Structure formats: structure tokens, C-alpha cells
Structure 1
Amino acid sequence: MNFELSDEQQQLADSVRKYLATHYGFEQRQAIVGSASGHSDATWHALAEMGLTAIALPEADGGFGGGALDLMPVMEALGEALVVEPLLDSIVAGRLVAQAGTAAQRAALLPGLADGTAALTLAYLEPGRRYAQAPEATTTRSAGDGWVLDGAKSVVVGAASAARLIVSARTDAGASLFIVDPRAAGVSLNPSRTVDGLRVADVAFAGVQLGKDALLGDAGAAQPHIDEALDFACALQCADAIGAMRHAHEATLEYTKARKQFGTAIASFQVLQHRMVEMLITFEQARSMAILAAARVDGATDAAQRRRAVSAAKVKIADAARLISQESVQLHGGMGMTEELKVSHTFRRLTMAGLRFGDADHHLERFAQAD
């Protein structure tokens, strides 16, 4: 497998890194996280202008027809900078609309996503059901010409800033997807913030009236689309974690070169050299697995092959994230957990990376079941 980026991928990644270095430094990020909205409209529009919101959309819908491998270097750059704008979740929701939506639905939602004027997000997790991907507690029933939606979704990233929610719900025919306005009557949001600074919300639906055109695709036919979209999301989450791991390793290496004890840089101590080498080897192994997951999401011949690759990568990423984040904090000493140091926030990002879209235990079980 070729692990090298194409010229176009490298140029895009360099452009993203250049923008983030100038406009999304650590102090700027902290101000964004602490703001009322928890995200930056200027950053969102800049990312859209670079084409990031359109990469994974089909060319017929105003996108570039790219896949996970095209987005991987972008996600690494976002992970390095600890970007909190919900790009990943909007891309995944847009992918579902592109795959399952009618021409009218795609025309209504995807141009706004592509140009950055209308973010989307996927609401699929349910209270008390951990990482279950099939809807159960959220239900819809037909009513006249439309639908009535009831239930709840948990930890919906970017719900407050999204123009539309893509909501999974159970119908008589099975798992289905619906387009829901988060400001519609009967929809209530309980916002909060994750440990790594993302703005999320628990969303409740109480007798929400939906038109017949709110159904995305066919009733009961959504589960394969949901499964594929979440594997795509998980592969990109792995890439985001790779970027955060890279920063943790590089920052720790620089610190050990500068920090002195007994008049000598601690980087010269053999025991610390061994730990730094272990971090580097773990990082390279995790990056290889992330590339494999992205490749399988783009080109797997069957769903089982895709699931196995994604779950194997997520297990490795979760283990690597724990080791590298803990080592980076320990080698920085007490200052490693201070609010003023980016490494402490990288630790939080990597902690969440091990949990989003399924933790290691969940994916070990799924890997064993995929055949």
C-alpha cells in the first residue's frame, strides 16, 4: 500500500496547516472554545472556501467526489490544531444525504453544505444504548401526508449550529432517516461541552410534525447507509487522532531537549529515550492502521471487510492514543496537565478519540463478529 500523499493531497494539507498556524493558534482556539457558541464562523467559512466541506460530496452535487483517503491529511491537520468546528459530523451527514436522498433533497441541502452556509449533523446515538447504531427508542409514525417523530438522541455534535439534523428513527418498516429542523416545534436541545471542547447537545423530540419529504430515502432501508457512514466517520476520527498524536510526540520531544536536570537535557537520559522511541513506534503503527481503514472505507468489496479494517484501526488508535497522551503528560511533569499548555488539551482530545464512534472493547467485539 502506498502511504505517500499525492501532490494534490499534500498541497491541500499544507494549505490547511498554513491557515491554522496563522488563524487558529492555541490562544485563539482557547478563545473560541470559551465563546458562547463554542465555534468560529470565520474558521468554518475559511474551511469551506478551501473546499473541505465539499470534498466527499459527489461532483453532481457540487462536490469533488473524494473519499476518506483524500480527507485523511486534512483531518490530521485539524487534529494537530485541536480544531473544534464540527467539520467531520457535517461531512458525514452530507454523505448520507448524497447517498440516500432524492434529487430534490440533495438540491435543497448539499449546495449549502458545500459552500459553508448550512451545516448538517447526524443524530444517531440514543440514551442508555452506548454505541448501538440501529435506532430503537426514537420512533416515527405516519400521520396524514407526513410523519410524527418522538424520542431522544444523545451527544449530537454541532446540533445547535446545524441547519438540519439527519435523525435515525425506527418506523414500522425498520431503520429510517429523517431531515429535521432543530428549531422546529417539539424539538428541544440540552447543550453541553465535551471534555475536549466540542459543543454537543442531547436532543428530545416530542410529537414533531414532519412533512412527507422529510424521509431520506426509503422507509426501513437506512441501516446499511448508517453503518457505512459511521465507518467512514470512524476512519476519519482515527486520522484526527493521528494529528493529535503527532503534536503530542513532537511537543514532548522538544520539551525533553530543552528541559535540563543536573545541567543536562533530559532527552539525553537513556530511559527517557526509550520512552520517546516507544511513542514514535506506536504513532507510526497507528498511522499505518488509520491509512488502511481509510483505504478500506473507500474501496472495500464488501461491508464485512470494511468493518474489520475500521474496527482493527480503532482498537489500535485507542491503545495508541492512551499511551501517547499519557506519556506526553508524564514527561512534561506537573505542567503537563495545566490549562495553559496545549499538551493537556491534546490529552483530552486523544481521550475522546478513544471513545467516539465506539471504544476499544466495542470494536474488539465487532471485529470478532465481522465475517
Structure 2
Amino acid sequence: MNFELSDEQQQLSESVRKYLASHYGFEQRKAIVHSASGHSDAVWRALADMGLTAIALPEAEGGFGGGALDLMPVMEALGESLVVEPLLDSIVAARLLAQAGTAAQRATLLPGLADGSAAWTFAYLEPGRRYAQAPERTTARRAGEGWVLDGAKSVVVGAASAARLVVSARTDTGAGLFIVDPRMAGVSLNPSRTVDGLRVADVAFAGVQLGQEALLGDAGAAQPHIDAALDFACALQCADAIGAMRYAHEATLEYTKTRKQFGTPIASFQVLQHRMVEMLITLEQARSMAILAAARVDDAGDTRQRARAVSGAKVKIADAARLISQESVQLHGGMGMTEELKVSHTFRRLTMAGLRFGDADHHLERFAALD
């Protein structure tokens, strides 16, 4: 497999990194995280203007027809800068619309998602069901020409700022997907912030009245789309973690070259050199797995091989994130856990990276079940 970026991917990656270097420095990020909304409209607009919201959407609906491999260098750049704008979650929701929606729904709604004028998010986790992907406690029952939605979703990233939620729910014929305005009657949000600065919300639905147009595609036929969307999201979350790990390694390497003990840089101590090499090897192995996962996600053929590659990558990335984040903090000493140092925030990002879209135990069980 060719691990090198194409010219187009390289140019896009450099553009994103250049923008983030000048507009998303550590102090700027801290101000965004602690703002009322927890994200920056200006940054979102800039990311959309670079085409990031359109990369993985069909060309017929205003996208570029790309996939996970095209987005991977973008996600690595976002991970390096610890970007908190919910780009991935909006892309996942948009792809669900592209894959499960009717022609009329796609023509009406996808252009706004492609150009970034609207941001959506996917609500699928349910209280008490950990990482279960099939909806159970959130239900949608037919009522005349429409639907009534009841239940709850947990830890929905970007819910408070999203124009629409794509909500998975159990219908009388199986899993369904519904477009829900989070401000409509019967929808209540309990917002919070994750340890790494993302804005999330627990969302409750109590007798929410939906029209027939709220249903994405056919009722009961949504589970394959849900599974594919979450594998796509997990693969790109791995890429985000690769970017954060790369920053942690490079920052730690630079620190060991400048920090002195007994009058000499600690980078000259052989035991620390071994630890730095282990971090680098672990990073490269994790990146290889992330590339394989992205490639399998883009392959529309064998869903079993896709799931195995994604779960295998997530297990490796979770282990690598733990090792690299812990080593980076330890090698920085006590200052490694201070608010003033970006490494401590990278540690939090990598901690959450091991949990989103399924932790290592969940994916190890799934990988074994697919053997």
C-alpha cells in the first residue's frame, strides 16, 4: 500500500495546517473552548471555504466525491491543532443523508451541508447501552402521515449548535433514521463539555411530532447505513488521533533537546532515547493501521473486512494513544499536566480518542466476533 499523499492531498493538508497555524494557536483555541458556544463561526466558515465539508459528498450534490483517504490528512491536521469545531460529526451526518436519503431530500438538503452553511450531527448512542449501534430505546411509531419520536440519545457532539440532528430510532420494521430540528417541541438538550473541550449534549425526545419527510429513505432499512457511517467516523477519528500523537511526540522530542540535567540535555540519556524511539515506532504502526482502515472504508465491497480493519485500527490507536500521551506527560515532568502547556490538552484529546466510537475492549470483541 502506498502511504504517501497525492499532490492534491498534500496541498490541501498544507493549506489546512497553514490556516490553523495562523488562526488556531494554543491561546486562540483556549478562548474558543471557553466561549459561550464552544466553537468559532469564523473557523467553521474558513474550513468550509477550503472545501472540507464537501470532500466526502457526491459530486452531483455539490461535493467532491472523495472518501476517508482524502479526509485523513485533514483530520490529522485538525488533531495536531486540537480543533474543537465538530467537522467530523457534520460530515458523518451529511453522508448518512447522501446514502440513505431520497433523491428529493438529497437535492434539497445536501448543498447546504456541502458548502458549510448548515452543520448537522448524528445522534446514535443511547443511555445505558454503551457503544451499541442499533437503536433500541429510542423509538419512532407511525402516526397518520408522520411519526412520533420518543427516547433519548447520549453525548451528541455539537447538538446545541447543529441545524438538524440525524437520529437513529427503532421502528416497527427495524432501524430508521430521522431528521430532527433540536429546537422543536418535545426535544430537550442537557449540554456539557467533554474533558478535551468538545461541546456535547444528552438529548431527550418526548412525543416529538415528525412529518413523513423527516424519515431518511425507507423505514427499517437504516442499519447498514448506520454501521457504514460509524466505521467511517471511527476511521477518521483514528486519523485525528494520529495528528495529536504526532504533535505529542514532536513536542516531547523538542523538550528533551532543550531541558538540561547535570549540565547536559536529557535527550542525550540513553534510556530516554529508547523511550522516544518507542513512541515514534508506535506512532508509525498506528498510522499504518489508520491508513488501512480508511482504505477499507472507501472500499464498498466486503463489509466484514471493513469492520475488521476499523476495529483493528481502533484497538491499535487506543493503545498507541495511551502510551504516547502518557510518555509525553512523564517526559515533560510536572509541567506536563499544567493548563498552560499544550501537551496536557493533547493528553486529554488522546484519552477521548480511545473512547469515541467504541473503546479498545469493544472493538477487540467485535474483531474477534468477525474472525
Query: Same fold by TM-score, threshold 0.5 exceeded?
Result: yes
The question of 1:325 aligning with 2:325 is answered: yes
Which string of whole-angstrom CA distances, capped at 9 and with x for unpartnered residues, describes residues 127-179 of structure 1?
A: 00000000000001111110000000000000011110000000000000000
**Residues 127, 154 of structure 1: 8 Å contact kept:** yes
Once the two structures are TM-superposed, the CA of residue 302 in structure 1 deviates from its matched residue by 1.1
1:177 alignment counterpart: 177
Bigger drift between 293-302 and 185-194 goes to 293-302
What letter matches 1:149 in structure 2?
L
The question of 1:208 aligning with 2:188 is answered: no
2:61 alignment counterpart: 61
Matches within 5 A, 1:115-264: 115-264=115-264
Once the two structures are TM-superposed, the CA of residue 365 in structure 1 deviates from its matched residue by 0.3
1:18 alignment counterpart: 18
C-alpha separation between the residues in 2 aligned to 1:108 and 1:209? Answer: 21
What letter matches 1:337 in structure 2?
M
**Residues 82, 346 of structure 1: 8 Å contact kept:** yes
Bigger drift between 76-85 and 298-307 goes to 298-307
Which string of whole-angstrom CA distances, capped at 9 and with x for unpartnered residues, describes residues 199-243 of structure 1?
A: 000000000000001000100000000000000000000000000
Matches within 5 A, 1:48-127: 48-127=48-127
Instruction: Report SS of the residue matched to 2:88.
Output: helix
Instruction: Report SS of the residue matched to 2:75.
Output: helix
**Residues 315, 363 of structure 1: 8 Å contact kept:** yes
**Residues 33, 84 of structure 1: 8 Å contact kept:** yes
Which string of whole-angstrom CA distances, capped at 9 and with x for unpartnered residues, describes residues 264-297 of structure 1?
A: 0000000000000000000000000000000010
Instruction: Report SS of the residue matched to 1:147.
Output: strand
C-alpha separation between the residues in 2 aligned to 1:345 and 1:229? Answer: 28
C-alpha separation between the residues in 2 aligned to 1:281 and 1:200? Answer: 34
Q: Report runs of 4+ in structure 1 exceeding 4 Å deviation.
A: none
1:37 alignment counterpart: 37
Uncovered stretches (5+) of structure 2, i.e. residues with no partner: none
Once the two structures are TM-superposed, the CA of residue 301 in structure 1 deviates from its matched residue by 2.3
1:353 alignment counterpart: 353
What letter matches 1:308 in structure 2?
R
What letter matches 1:52 in structure 2?
L
C-alpha separation between the residues in 1 aligned to 2:236 and 2:63? Answer: 18
Once the two structures are TM-superposed, the CA of residue 107 in structure 1 deviates from its matched residue by 2.2
C-alpha separation between the residues in 1 aligned to 2:117 and 2:299? Answer: 31
C-alpha separation between the residues in 1 aligned to 2:302 and 2:292? Answer: 15
Instruction: Report SS of the residue matched to 1:333.
Output: helix
1:306 alignment counterpart: 306
What letter matches 2:187 in structure 1?
V
TM-score of the aligned structures, taking structure 2 as reference length: 0.99
Which string of whole-angstrom CA distances, capped at 9 and with x for unpartnered residues, describes residues 24-64 of structure 1?
A: 00000000000000000000000000000000000001000
Instruction: Report SS of the residue matched to 1:160.
Output: helix
C-alpha separation between the residues in 1 aligned to 2:113 and 2:37? Answer: 19
Uncovered stretches (5+) of structure 1, i.e. residues with no partner: none
Once the two structures are TM-superposed, the CA of residue 108 in structure 1 deviates from its matched residue by 2.5
C-alpha separation between the residues in 2 aligned to 1:107 and 1:331? Answer: 53
C-alpha separation between the residues in 2 aligned to 1:65 and 1:236? Answer: 16
What letter matches 1:43 in structure 2?
V
What letter matches 1:82 in structure 2?
L
Bigger drift between 98-107 and 315-324 goes to 98-107
Once the two structures are TM-superposed, the CA of residue 104 in structure 1 deviates from its matched residue by 1.7
1:339 alignment counterpart: 339
Instruction: Report SS of the residue matched to 2:161.
Output: coil
C-alpha separation between the residues in 1 aligned to 2:25 and 2:273? Answer: 29
**Residues 109, 118 of structure 1: 8 Å contact kept:** no
Once the two structures are TM-superposed, the CA of residue 300 in structure 1 deviates from its matched residue by 5.2
TM-score of the aligned structures, taking structure 1 as reference length: 0.99
What letter matches 1:290 in structure 2?
A
C-alpha separation between the residues in 2 aligned to 1:109 and 1:199? Answer: 24
Instruction: Report SS of the residue matched to 1:149.
Output: strand
1:273 alignment counterpart: 273
C-alpha separation between the residues in 2 aligned to 1:217 and 1:327? Answer: 47
